[in-house]
Amino acid sequence: MSLYDFSGAKVLVAGDLMLDRYHFGSVSRISPEAPVPVVNVKRTTQTLGGSGNVVNNIAHLGADAVMMGVWGEDADAQILKGMMDSINIECDMLVTDAPTTTKLRVIGEKQQIVRLDFEEVTPLTREQSGTVSARVKEHMKTCGAVVISDYGKGFCTLDVCEDIIRLAEIHNIPVIVDPKGSDWRKYAGATTVTPNVKELAEAVGRYVPNEDEAIVLAAREIIDRVRLKYLIVTRSEKGITVVDGNDFMHFPTQAKEVFDVSGAGDTVVASLALALAKGFSLKDAVTVANRAAGIVVAKIGTAPVLLSELNSSHDVKSKLMPLDALLIELEKARITGRKIVFTNGCFDILHKGHVTYLKKAAELGDILVLGLNSDDSVRRLQKGPDRPINNEIDRAEVLAALESISYITIFDEDTPYELIKAIAPDVLVKGADYKVEEVVGREFAKKTVLIDFVHGYSTTSVIKAMQGDKK
């Protein structure tokens, strides 16, 4: 497969922008004021939500985007602006009296306790719609595709959608719609709409089973009703189906394992729009979107697909991440009840003993995190003046190709004490050459497990054998 390159592509994303905020904490008691849990908040994270997740995907796939929507004159709008500035997204937003749409989720231990919505669903006025139309007309001159990202919050009115679709047709630019609700008349004339099976059933007005024949039949009914060129139906574990008036194509899922479908639709829309903006054929564009979807559903929570992941046959680079990003991923994993296992080491020259050890470690939980000693750390451990033989990035990439490892983070200290303290794994794993009471950081893990090494295998013995020293 040749490498994808979306540089130079620019997509106009018009839709409902929102801020997703998460409070993660622990629960140890019930409030004396009411029969509700008291959450001691330990961490707060914020992400681009709604149509913001589409532009986030576009940016991480190496392309440009313009974000059009509405926000309030408040602190949350400034947070969203800062997030989009950090990924070089151009903002062309209307400011309204309503608050910026914000979803706040409180997570206690592994369960979502409550979600608070800060929003006022108010459709745009005719005057505001006219302003949007004038701005869209200017953006059409530099964009190769348009996404209408409709979350039903008031931006995607009939007037706005009709004007976008009309202007795109004049400029011969494809319009991809991520729909909301059962009335799709406002999407009439769009290039394609990208519903999941549930959304397709809502639009057609009856139950639609996730079966090939039923999907094609319902899709053709909608195509005729809404005057679309074709329909792209995302079907979870069954992949993607593309239907036009005369033909259809089924694309089996490329996901090896589905952890979380959150945001998968946004990823499909973003990657599809970029591929069409770059002039890909419909088949090739959907192939890209299907590949991207297969990557994102293997992640926990709403997360963008990286260009390096899309271009990697094993998605190995996505496993290596700094500690702050890793902690966010692990917080999301804990929400779903997944057990986190941690181990660490130098892993200078990978051999059978390493592979067997890591496989056994991974079997103790759902997610195996590997703390990898940095080059400086290896040298300080007195491994010898010529060690490590392989630098930390090369070692990380080789290790990331192992299916047993979920995440890798590099640490520079002599011991992984601070790393284990931050991660607080369910299971801490070390080799059986240690005693449990000697294991660094064991007080931060729920359980410490020692695993026997494979007899006769060690990095030192491998190096000596390579040098001809059989002693």
What are the structure tokens assigned to 388, written together? 């490590």
Q: Which residues pair with 22 in a beta bridge?
A: 45, 105
Among candidate residues 20, 64, 163, 266, the one labeled active-site is 266
Residue 295, amino acid? I
CA angle 141, 142, 145 (to 5 degrees): 100
Measured CA to CA, the distance from residue 173 to residue 49 in angstroms comes to: 25
Please check whether residue 24 is in contact with residue 44, taking contact to mean a CB–CB distance below 8 angstroms: yes
Q: Which residue has the tokens 């004007």?
A: 163
For β-strands 240-244 and 248-251, DSSP reports them as antiparallel
Run of H or E including 450: strand 447-451
Q: CA torsion angle for 439, 440, 445, 451 (degrees, to 10)?
A: -30
CA distance 162 to 134: 13
Residue 92 near residue 132, CB atoms below 8 Å: no
Q: Which residues pair with 71 in a beta bridge?
A: 95
To the query of whether residue 426 is one of the catalytic residues in this protein, the response is: no
Please choose, from the candidates 333, 351, 455, 350, the residue with its C-alpha nearest in 3D space to the C-alpha of residue 342.
333
CA distance 276 to 284: 9
Give the catalytic positions in this structure.
266
